[in-house]
Structure 1
């Protein structure tokens, strides 16, 4: 028998089929769309945040880069020009002329002592030789005073001023001793023969003061300013050459930037050529080329002023002064027999300083000098000041020929001077002192010719020095006005080339 299910309490029959569960709403069709929506881009981080991401930003960045490089180019060029001008000022107008002035002072002092010795050696002999020597002594004294005043005016440091003051004081003491020796010699009314012992003692004091006090201090003035010239030349010329290198590097970077800017604009805005930018690029290229060329010229002017002019002038002025001092030692050799051996050895030392030839004594030296010396510029077989001059490189053929001819004349005259010295000493060694004194007087003309030859050679280098300094002054003339003007023009051209493109970009948006 089958069991019967009871009816629901409500009295209603349930619907056949499965019973519905809890009531559910219509499906949400927006949910899948929301799930598929693209997430926003993450903000850039690190270096990427600094990079321009829009066309306008690109334009502004390239413009700023070009302006910065332009300012750097102008600043480096300005500094290099300042270095060049400072080098020319010190070498050509300040320390350089001061060195030449003190070199002249050194010569005048040595010639004063030489003429004092000549006046005492000649005495009251007929012919007026003593009066001529004293006239030259007074002339040298005045020139030495002028050179000392010029050196003092050019002195720009306390030590130089003190040295110049010490030289002036020592010069006064020397003149007092020289005056006493001359007065005592005149009172002796000596017509021939050596001066009295009292006169010799006074002269020894005077010449020792000259050699041990005056000349070293005068040379210190030359040495101090010569060192300043050398350091200035090395520092400023190196700075000029470094500035030229940086001008080329920064200038090429600027030109490349402007060229890249031109290419970017042509691709982005479909324009074949941006004329203002093209002119700015051309102007930058011209400015770089002109600046580098100018600095190369300035470095060459500094080199010529220092090496071809100043160095030779200083060396030859020293050779002239030492030659004159050596000539005075010949007179001292005759004037003071007790010190004759010492004066002979000093003469050899000074002669080898002027032109060095290997020799153990004065006789060997004279023989070596009298032998014909064959030499070529840059390969001289002798040293000393004249050897330095012979080995100095030269550039142009005309300049080289002029210098070689002038130096050959100096060497020929120097051989005559040494031959006269040998003749005079042979007479002394043979007991013929009066003939030696006469030979010494006769040899004065040959020494004067040798001195003129040295002055002519110095004059050639002085001309080179003056020309190099003038070219250095003219080489930077006007550049302090050209640089800012060129910078403004190039900057305006860059802005004129960019401004329309920025406006076009804003309009297209």
Structure 2
């Protein structure tokens, strides 16, 4: 009788331990997945978008330096010919500024105290940046009949100050936020995968020990009491085996999907975001190169460095070949711009910079940026799909485990009661 009680107590204890392990493992895995998908990844995406949008905003403000009328004197009695009115650049800058507000709001909502402090610092610096660029644009557009590509010295001065603030304060702060967000995504991925694998291991170990005990108990009861099988104990054994095996596989599957989502989805999307920043910076340098002849050699060097980085930034990104054609078109349009400017054709050079027909820089940049945006969206969809699949692997297990193992505990009691009754 004591032997039966000890066997029953051990079985109950192991089944209860298996139930507790399943509940803890799946609850932890779901919490880890939520942290990765709903907090860390959106924060990193917002930081990457903020970085790219700031670079594009700088490019649009640089274009405002190009506005003006034809450098060729008008015919007698004719008004000067307007080459570029800067409307497109102004509208794009307004859209960028609106995106910045959304990104900063999301960063503030998903960041810790240090992150929120950095966001507040960005807001303060962005206010100063807006004041500088506003003065730059006013200075560039308020003069009477400005000549295209020849902004007033005051406009260049304010743009220099604004770009200095952007390059020395705004972008480094955003890079810090982005680096921290990337590290957090990596840490969350590792934690989620490690916790899920540990849960699967514990389920397997506890399930194996419980299975060995239940099989031995069945054999011992059959030998000692002359019965072949105990249906209640057999059903309890099947329940714990199902939970241990299926639950462990679900946790391992979720771990693999989480790692795959970050490796195949998030990481390539982050690389594409960096390429978008480089292309926006390159476009800003082109505008500055056109209007600031004194710094053309150094600006040309900056442009060359940025464009040489682009292929490396896209290396290893699945499907990145779709951007190679637009990238080549962007570089060809830049070569045309420089030929026109250096050939003494400022009007044509300004149109080449800001025009939106095929072969002109604004069109080529938009096409290239759009292809990069599509590529980033595809990788983001891969991440979302992987996270969704991991969530499907984990879903309902906090309900399935109690439904399966709760009755198993009762079955153990029911299975041992007839044997105990024989001793009473």
2:287 match: 331
Shift of 1:330: 1.3
**Cα deviations across residues 419-464 of structure 1 (Å, max 9, x unaligned)?**
2223333444555554433332322111111111111111212222
1:6 match: none
Q: Select 1:153's aligned residue among 91, 103, 109.
A: 109
2:48 match: 103
Q: Select 2:313's aligned residue among 370, 378, 385.
A: 385
With 180-189 and 108-117 compared, the bigger mean Cα shift is at: 180-189
1:196 match: 152
Shift of 1:337: 2.1
Describe how 1:173-192 pairs up with structure 2 within 5 A.
173-189=128-144, 190-192=146-148
**Cα deviations across residues 402-428 of structure 1 (Å, max 9, x unaligned)?**
xx3xx2221111111122223333444
**Cα deviations across residues 283-318 of structure 1 (Å, max 9, x unaligned)?**
111111210121122112312331222212222122
Describe how 1:465-476 pairs up with structure 2 within 5 A.
465-476=383-394
For the residues of structure 2 that align with 1:124 and 1:209, how far apart are their CA atoms? 30
* Distance change (3 Å), C-alpha of 1:178 and 1:269: same
Q: Which runs of 5+ in 2 are unaligned?
A: 71-81, 355-359
1:491 match: 409
**Cα deviations across residues 334-365 of structure 1 (Å, max 9, x unaligned)?**
1222222222222223223321xxxxxxxxxx
SS in 1 for 2:315: helix
SS in 1 for 2:316: helix
2:15 match: 70
* Alignment partner of 1:443 is 2:361: yes
* Distance change (3 Å), C-alpha of 1:411 and 1:87: farther
SS in 2 for 1:340: helix
Answer yes or no: is the 8 Å Cα contact 1:85–1:472 preserved in 2. no
Shift of 1:94: 0.5
1:421 match: 334
1:364 match: none
For the residues of structure 1 that align with 2:124 and 2:253, how far apart are their CA atoms? 45
**Cα deviations across residues 129-150 of structure 1 (Å, max 9, x unaligned)?**
4111111111111111222122
* Alignment partner of 1:143 is 2:99: yes
How many pairs align?
A: 407
Answer yes or no: is the 8 Å Cα contact 1:241–1:296 preserved in 2. yes
The structure richer in helix per residue is: 2
**Cα deviations across residues 374-401 of structure 1 (Å, max 9, x unaligned)?**
xxxxxxxxxx2210314xxxxxxxxxxx
Answer yes or no: is the 8 Å Cα contact 2:330–2:368 preserved in 1. yes
Shift of 1:128: 4.8
For the residues of structure 2 that align with 1:490 and 1:308, how far apart are their CA atoms? 41
Answer yes or no: is the 8 Å Cα contact 2:264–2:379 preserved in 1. yes
* Bigger RCO (CA 8 Å, 6+ sep): 2
* Distance change (3 Å), C-alpha of 1:175 and 1:122: same
Shift of 1:213: 0.9
Answer yes or no: is the 8 Å Cα contact 2:67–2:140 preserved in 1. no
1:265 match: 221
SS in 1 for 2:369: helix
If the length of structure 2 is used for normalisation, what is the TM-score? 0.91
With 455-464 and 110-119 compared, the bigger mean Cα shift is at: 455-464
Answer yes or no: is the 8 Å Cα contact 2:54–2:96 preserved in 1. yes
**Cα deviations across residues 69-105 of structure 1 (Å, max 9, x unaligned)?**
2222223222321332122112210011111112111
* Alignment partner of 1:457 is 2:375: yes
Answer yes or no: is the 8 Å Cα contact 1:87–1:302 preserved in 2. no
For the residues of structure 2 that align with 1:81 and 1:336, how far apart are their CA atoms? 61
For the residues of structure 2 that align with 1:259 and 1:207, how far apart are their CA atoms? 75
Q: Select 2:207's aligned residue among 232, 251, 275.
A: 251
Name the Cα RMSD after superposition.
1.8
With 265-274 and 320-329 compared, the bigger mean Cα shift is at: 320-329
For the residues of structure 1 that align with 2:324 and 2:392, how far apart are their CA atoms? 37
Answer yes or no: is the 8 Å Cα contact 2:56–2:280 preserved in 1. yes
Q: Select 2:275's aligned residue among 319, 323, 346.
A: 319
Answer yes or no: is the 8 Å Cα contact 2:64–2:140 preserved in 1. no
For the residues of structure 1 that align with 2:32 and 2:306, how far apart are their CA atoms? 34
**Cα deviations across residues 48-74 of structure 1 (Å, max 9, x unaligned)?**
xxxxxxxx2221222222222222222
For the residues of structure 1 that align with 2:286 and 2:148, how far apart are their CA atoms? 18
Q: Which runs of 5+ in 1 are unaligned?
A: 1-55, 356-383, 391-403
Shift of 1:220: 1.8
For the residues of structure 2 that align with 1:82 and 1:340, how far apart are their CA atoms? 60
Answer yes or no: is the 8 Å Cα contact 2:83–2:148 preserved in 1. no
